[in-house]
Amino acid sequence: MNDQIVTFKQRLKAFLYHLGFSAVLLVISLFLILYIWYPGALKYATGVLTVYCMLLLIDVILGPFLTALVYKKNKVKLMFDMTIILIIQISALLFGLYTLEKGRPTWLVFVVDDFELVAKSDLDSQTVVPEKFNLGFFDRPVWVAAVYSDDPVIRQKQKEDEIFNGISLTTRPEAYQSIAVKKEAIISKAKPLEELKKYNALTNEGLKELSSYSGWLPLKAPEKDMVVLVNKEGIPTKIVNLRPWE
């Protein structure tokens, strides 16, 4: 009986140590995913929370649980078992982070009359991104404008690709320019805040909280379409978890 109690205490201690290690990994992952790669409402727009919960299950629960299961002091193959567990845990975590990084919303692209969320994975593998818009591992999503070429031949090809081949201008980084070049277009296309009440259970008080913004435009996203709030200078300022249409 005493041996069982001692073994239980040893396994509990090993579990807690591994849980602490997992918590550190989780905090780092949390910072990358929810602050850098998918900030603000983008975590809802992309549905990343489902994937993150799977990472949480593997990292925080499965790893320490396996440690508690196999741990026994003075066990001959203990170091081997622990090494395998850590390799599985860290490999699963790194694969999950790699997948999330590739699918993260890299560019928030304005074209014509709305914004579209574009991820690295939306681009052809051969696509060359201009250095100005080629984001690094720790860079947050950026606002850009997709602009049709001034060359009439190229512009015609871009429009034909959109119509016949389904290649959106938003997925052509060579067409990206600073969001500032479309300030006037954004101002002219922005919808009044009052219209948000048509598609959302938004009270007058809630609408008042948005009064510092001059208007809004839709953001097309893979999971949920969102609303982009713009200021009076025509610069997109914030993404909010509201519906732009029914």
- Tens digit of pLDDT for each residue in 123-178? 877 788 988 999 988 999 999 999 999 999 999 999 998 888 888 999 999 999 99
Using an 8 Å Cβ cutoff, are 10 and 68 in contact?
no
| Alpha-carbon dihedral 119, 125, 131, 132, rounded to 10 degrees | -20
Q: Residue 16 corresponds to which tokens in the numbers above? A: 């807690």
Percent of the chain with pLDDT over 70: 98
What mean pLDDT is reported for the chain? 88
Residue 117: which of 232, 219, 231 has the closest Cα?
219
Non-local (6+) Cβ contacts of 143 within 8 A are 108, 110, 179, 235, 236
Using an 8 Å Cβ cutoff, are 199 and 242 in contact?
yes
Strand order in the sheet with 142-146: 176-178, 142-146, 105-111, 114-119, 215-220, 226-230, 236-240
Using an 8 Å Cβ cutoff, are 76 and 88 in contact?
no
Residue 24 scores a pLDDT above 60: yes
Using an 8 Å Cβ cutoff, are 33 and 70 in contact?
no
H-helix segments, the chain: 2-31, 42-46, 48-56, 63-70, 78-102, 152-160, 183-189, 196-199, 204-209
One-letter identity of residue 143: W
Computed from CA positions of residues 109, 111, 115, 116, in that sequence, does the dihedral angle turn out positive or negative? Answer: negative
3-class SS at 239? strand
